[in-house]
């Protein structure tokens, strides 16, 4: 995802989930070989069920994907694949 979009998502998350500490959130540029486009957001925190449902709703509205592994959310956008002609 573009940097500005990632920042918008971060602000929306922090607005509704004020318990998240800033040091638990990272904005990471994707590198070659990663299955993501642009920037990723990583959140390392215990998230309550209500916040988890909000995150799912928010991310679906932005059309981005996420994985949740061991109290870590990884939010990203898959690269657009080109179909062979």
DSSP 33-80: T-SS-SEEEEEES---HHHHHHHHHHHHHHT-EEEE-SSEEEEE-PPP
Average of pLDDT values for 5-29? 84
Residue 85 has pLDDT above 90, yes or no: no
- Does residue 5 or residue 81 have the better pLDDT? 5
Q: What is the pLDDT of residues 60-74, one digit of tens each?
A: 999 999 998 888 889
Residue 62, pLDDT score: 92
- Does residue 45 or residue 37 have the better pLDDT? 45
Residue 84, pLDDT score: 55
Share the mean pLDDT of the chain. 83
Residue 23, pLDDT score: 62
Domains of the chain, by residue range, sit at: 3-76
Residue 45 has pLDDT above 80, yes or no: yes
Parallel, antiparallel, or unpaired for β 25-29 and 39-44? antiparallel
């Amino acid at each position: 995802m573009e940097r500005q979009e990632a920042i918008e998502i971060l602000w929306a998350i922090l607005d509704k989930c004020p318990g998240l500490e800033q040091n638990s959130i990272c904005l990471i540029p994707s590198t070659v070989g990663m299955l993501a486009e642009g920037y990723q957001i990583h959140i390392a925190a215990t998230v309550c069920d209500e916040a988890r449902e909000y995150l799912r709703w928010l991310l679906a509205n932005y059309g981005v994907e996420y994985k949740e592994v061991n109290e870590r959310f990884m939010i990203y956008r898959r690269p657009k694949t080109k179909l062979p002609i």
